Amino acid sequence: MNRLSTFLFVSTFLLVACGGGDTNPASSETSTAKNYDCVIKYGWEPRPPYQFLHNGEMQGIDIEIFKKAADATQCNIQYVQKSWTELLTALENGEIDVLGGATETPERKVYADFSVPYRSESFSLFVRSTNDYQGGELAGFLSGGNKVGITNDYYYGEDVYNLMNHPQYGPLFIDGNSGEQSFYNVIYSTIDGVLTDPVEGRYIIKRKGLESQVKESNIKIPSDNVSFMFSKKSLSPEKSQALQDTIKTLVTGNEVNPIVAKYQ
Class of domain 122-223: alpha beta
Distance CA 169, CA 166 (A): 5
- CA–CA dist 97, 103 (Å, integer): 16
Query: What is the Cβ-side half-sphere exposure of residue 64, based on CA atoms within 13 angstroms?
Result: 16
| CA–CA gap between residue 174 and residue 194 (Å, rounded) | 9
- Residue 23 is predicted with a pLDDT of 35
Which CATH code, of 3.40.190.10, 3.40.1280.10, 3.30.930.10, 2.30.33.40, is assigned to 25-119+224-262? Answer: 3.40.190.10
For CATH 3.40.190.10, list the domain ranges present in the chain. 25-119+224-262, 122-223
Phi, psi of 39 (to 5 degrees): -125, 130
Mean pLDDT of 16-36: 50
Query: Is there a contact between 149 and 186 (Cβ–Cβ < 8 Å)?
Result: yes
pLDDT tens digits along 168-218: 999 999 998 667 889 999 999 999 999 999 999 999 999 999 999 999 999
pLDDT at 263 over 90: no
Per-chain mean pLDDT for the chain? 87
Its pTM stands at: 0.75
pLDDT of the residue at 24: 39
